Amino acid sequence: MTLRTNIAGIAAAAAFASAAAPAVAARCTPARAGASVVSHPEPFRRAVEALVRSSAAEGKPWSCTGGVIELVDHEDGAKTLTILGEDGGAVSRTVISPDEIVPLGEALLAKPLPSPSTPEALVTARAPDVGPDRESPATVTPAPRLLFSALVSPRYAGSVDVLWLGSTAALAVPLGPWAAGVWTRYDAIAAAVGDGNASLRELCFGTSVSRSFALRPLELRASVVPSIAIVTWPGRETRVDGRIGAELRGVLPLTRWLRAAVAFDAELTPRELGVEKDVGGGTETTTVPENTGDDDGDDDDGVVISASSPLVVPPLVYPGYTLGLSIGLEVAFQ
């Protein structure tokens, strides 16, 4: 009885110690972006970043598999997505758009999940690994949360034959390949074309909805830009017009946060379309005071001025459309 009691006690103590010992935390190694990713347009970099984050979330077939994600261009504009495994193997697929990278990448990373009987499946908690040897879960540039652009905007105003030199400031919030924002433009420095009047000024406030397209090395954005324009003839009249416009912008990355931007836009003012130049504001007449000089009514230059002769003031005309070319910089806030 004594021997059996001792054996039973030793077995119970061993079982208790085994149950009380902390489980060894399994280490999750997500996939990481290779050096080739940073050279691609922003939508593709964002898609690779999303794939890296997906591989760091435990419990999926593609989780914690490690490996390197590479992205290489084809001559036809497509790209090759390649996963280099930790064992040295590689598997590739062709992608056309950034939207294909996450689902294809997950499929390439996927491995069978461990069965419930394996020790890895029994681990319910994982201690955070913040040691110096831990690899970063992502090496790609984070997607920007806000875009700010400042542009110089030469512009032609149709119907009034005026060239403006103005400035534009814009803010946009990226939402995947889409973006929404607001902008303002002030056109003040003017030059007349032909019979145009260079005194016209305008201040515009607008919104924008855009869709981006990756065309290496550029990012191309197509936008709809409705706006309100406050147009002023100094000393005479101010009018508020609604406009609808479209913009095509090319963006070229210079650094991680700074880009060069060139844009072409066109705006229409529905209220002014079809309005003839001689209908703008009617004509105004001003009676010239009576001549107080010589009795014959002649002035010093020999021109006869009649007291009943009116001076005709040209009618007020407003832009029916504008065309602009903008050049400037864009800042991406992470």
CB-facing half-sphere around the CA of 254: CA atoms within 13 A: 10
| 324, β-bridge pairs | 155, 265
Which domains, from first to last, does the chain contain?
A: 26-141 (no CATH), 146-276+315-333 (2.40.160.20)
- Nearest residue to 247 via CA among 268, 215, 224: 224
pTM over 0.75: no
pLDDT, residue 312, reads 56
Q: How confident is the model over 39-84, as pLDDT tens digits?
A: 888 888 888 889 888 888 887 887 888 888 888 887 667 888 898 8
Evaluate if residue 112 carries a pLDDT over 70.
Answer: no
Q: Is residue 85 within 8 Å of 66, Cβ to Cβ?
A: yes
Token digits for 8? 């039973």
* Stretch 268-295: mean pLDDT: 57
- Nearest residue to 29 via CA among 70, 77, 73, 62: 62
Q: Is residue 184 within 8 Å of 205, Cβ to Cβ?
A: yes
Q: How confident is the model over 309-325, as pLDDT tens digits?
A: 555 556 688 999 999 99
Q: What is the DSSP string of 130-155?
A: -STTPPPS--SPPPPSEEEEEEEEEE
Tell me if residue 16 falls in helix, strand or coil.
Answer: helix
Residue 168 binned pLDDT confidence (cut-offs 50, 70, 90): very high
Q: How confident is the model over 138-162, as pLDDT tens digits?
A: 445 567 899 999 999 999 999 899 9
Q: Is residue 81 within 8 Å of 37, Cβ to Cβ?
A: no
Evaluate if residue 329 carries a pLDDT over 90.
Answer: yes
Summary count for the chain: helices (H), strands (E): 4, 15
How far apart CA 110 and CA 93 sit, in angstroms, is 14
Q: How confident is the model over 172-222, as pLDDT tens digits?
A: 999 989 999 999 999 989 999 887 788 999 999 999 999 999 887 889 999
Strand order across the beta sheet in which 79-84 lies: 32-33, 68-73, 79-84, 90-95
Mean predicted lDDT score pLDDT of the chain: 78
* Stretch 86-109: mean pLDDT: 84
pLDDT, residue 307, reads 46
